Structure 1
Amino acid sequence: MRALFAVFVIAAASLGVQIGAPLLGAPSGARAQGAALPDRPAAKAGPSGEAAKPPGDAAAQEPDRGKRLDALFAALKVAPDKESAKGIAERIDIALTPSGSETTDLLMSRAALASEAKDFDLAIQLLDGVLAISPDHLDAWNKRATIFYLKQDFSDALVDLRQVVAREPRHYGAWAGIAIICKEIGDEKRALEAVRNARAIYPHLDEVEDMEKTLTISVEGRPI
């Protein structure tokens, strides 16, 4: 996996967090007031009179993408071992990452460099630009959530992760991120719901297995 879960593992580790359903209620952070799904930009008519597809809209450019993702997620759920599951997860990661727009690719690249340099405000501005052009860019939502998390802006991080799972409910990396943040802020019940969502999609996601066990005992108590 390159991005779906690894980004939050790295972010959590940097803050000392141990990694081991219904969408969350809207947090009350600075961006929570604008948490509604943004409208798609209006498509301009092409030479043939048909509406041109917005840049970065991988789903529109690849009509069979949905079927391919359905097949990959189904395979991930029944993968017999960790290695085969990891290979499937990597293919899902690629399929969920839009490409084909030079503008969004450039902005994503610059945002990554800014994040590496710990210029988080610049990284957020660049990712804002990506999402203004391509509001369904899951990787941009996910990476901006990670940056908010690194800034310890948990409220805005949750807003962005909710945008991810609203668009792709099977995004186990976003559910894992929600679990990490909810655990961090003491909302263990919702953390448990989120981590179970992640593992229902990706049963071999062992990075959060201990977290699920700990939360189960904390929320539901030990089995008799």
Structure 2
Amino acid sequence: MRLWPLLLCLPVCLAGAVFADTCPDAPDHSAGLDDLIAQIQQAESEQEARVISNQMWAFWADAPDEQSQAILDRGMSRREAWDLLGALQDFDRLVEYCPNYAEGYNQRAFVNFLRQDFPAALVDLDRAIALSPRHIAAISGRALTLMGLRRLDEARDAMAEALALNPWLPERGLAAPGGPLAPPGQDL
């Protein structure tokens, strides 16, 4: 009869084990991001804008918990070392663990962009933007990915959206007169 109480506890214990690997919500940095977007739009120099942009990256790369932060950091280190397959494995794991964390999708998209797998990158960028509509890096990454797919009209629109949020983007030259994403008639 001693086994009976243990059997009653089994479903509760198993449910606890399943929920133990559930990713919490990502930190809400929307108010801080609003402030940084307003600041970068008023920035008077590229150097000033770069400092603000780095603060935005700190928000985007603030993962939901220690486990997801470790996966994100390892994947970014692997990507920086050009271990693209290792990075892709990490970001696949991050997206599986934290399906509502935009940066997991953005980073996986970046790896796929580097691999020139533009269709896969675009899917992840669309998901990142759906989760974080003002993720400037994902929006500009979407413009570059669409450019890689030779969908220039859509790329122009995405770059214009990104530049409206951050006029100091390093990619801004692509939309300048003579650039491939300049308004029609002003492009190459």
TM-score between the two structures when normalised by the length of structure 1: 0.65
State the alpha-carbon separation in 2 of the partners of residues 180 and 216 from structure 1.
9
Structure with the greater relative contact order (CA < 8 A, sep ≥ 6): 1 or 2? 1
Question: How far apart are 1:102 and its partner, in Å?
Answer: 2.1
- The alignment status of 1:80 with 2:36, answered yes or no, reads no
Other-structure match for 1:215: 180
Matches within 5 A, 1:22-33: none
Contact 2:143 2:158 in 1 (8 A): yes
Name stretches of at least 5 consecutive residues in structure 1 with no aligned partner.
1-43, 46-52, 60-64
Residue identity in the other structure for 1:209: R
Whichever of the two has the greater Rg, that structure is 2
Residue identity in the other structure for 2:130: A
Other-structure match for 2:140: 176
Contact 1:112 1:123 in 2 (8 A): yes
State the alpha-carbon separation in 1 of the partners of residues 112 and 95 from structure 2.
15
State the alpha-carbon separation in 2 of the partners of residues 116 and 204 from structure 1.
23
- The alignment status of 1:108 with 2:72, answered yes or no, reads yes
Task: Answer 1 or 2: which has greater helix percent.
Answer: 2
State the alpha-carbon separation in 1 of the partners of residues 172 and 185 from structure 2.
17
Question: How far apart are 1:149 and its partner, in Å?
Answer: 1.4
Question: How far apart are 1:212 and its partner, in Å?
Answer: 0.5
Q: What is the aligned length?
A: 166
Other-structure match for 1:57: 26
Question: How far apart are 1:144 and its partner, in Å?
Answer: 0.5
Residue identity in the other structure for 1:121: L
Q: Deviations over 1:86-106 (max 9, x none)?
A: 111111111222246221122
Contact 1:97 1:137 in 2 (8 A): no
Question: How far apart are 1:196 and its partner, in Å?
Answer: 0.8
Other-structure match for 1:70: 34
Other-structure match for 2:112: 148
Question: How far apart are 1:122 and its partner, in Å?
Answer: 3.4
Cα pair distance change 1:189/1:117, threshold 3 Å: same
* Alignment RMSD (CA, Å): 2.6
State the alpha-carbon separation in 2 of the partners of residues 100 and 137 from structure 1.
8
Question: How far apart are 1:170 and its partner, in Å?
Answer: 1.7
Question: How far apart are 1:222 and its partner, in Å?
Answer: 4.1
Matched residue of 2:180: which SS? helix
State the alpha-carbon separation in 2 of the partners of residues 139 and 110 from structure 1.
13
Contact 2:63 2:69 in 1 (8 A): yes
Cα pair distance change 1:99/1:220, threshold 3 Å: closer
Question: How far apart are 1:216 and its partner, in Å?
Answer: 5.2
Name stretches of at least 5 consecutive residues in structure 2 with no aligned partner.
1-14, 17-21
Question: How far apart are 1:85 and its partner, in Å?
Answer: 1.5
- The alignment status of 1:202 with 2:166, answered yes or no, reads yes
Contact 1:56 1:99 in 2 (8 A): no
